[in-house]
Amino acid sequence: MRRPLLVGLALVLALGACGSRLNPLNWFGGSEPAPAATLAPTDLPATAPDARPLMAQVISLEVEPNRGGAVVRAVGVPPTQGFWNAELVARPVQDGVMTYEFRALPPPNGAAVGTQASREVTVGAYLTAYQLRSIRQITVVSAGNALTSRR
């Protein structure tokens, strides 16, 4: 009884410690800058128009695996304070690449610029395990740049 338990525990620790694709913690690494020329929003397939402009800049992207899939979390910086109704707008998956547009509405009246920390906007999106089966790369696009996380 004790030996199968020890063998099983050793196997779990070995898979968890290695860089295997079987380890769910290794599914998506950190984010990296994506070439803006290849990810321009005008090159993406057309969908229903969204009145919200693209966020000025995306500064971080994290894909956090969880029990039923993964949470995609992005932080963006608009030009002024007061941006609201922010969302990651999903585009159709193409060749295993899930692309999100980071969009938010500007304040109705002018707003103060403030510090970068006071302007940061955090948004998230949930992907199910079923959706993740066909995705090998996640990209978040803003007006100024794009960040990518790969499996």
Domain-wise residue ranges, the chain: 24-150
Residue 24 is predicted with a pLDDT of 56
| Predicted TM-score of the model (pTM) | 0.70
Q: For tokens 């899930």, what's the residue?
A: 98
Residue 113 is predicted with a pLDDT of 86
Reported as a single tens digit per residue, the pLDDT across 85-134 is 999 999 999 999 999 999 999 998 877 888 899 999 999 999 999 999 99
Cα 116 to chain centroid distance, Å, stands at 20
At 115, phi and psi to the nearest 5?
Answer: -80, 165
Residue 30 is predicted with a pLDDT of 62
Reported as a single tens digit per residue, the pLDDT across 68-79 is 999 999 999 999
Question: How far is it, in rounded angstroms, from Cα 146 to Cα 38?
Answer: 10
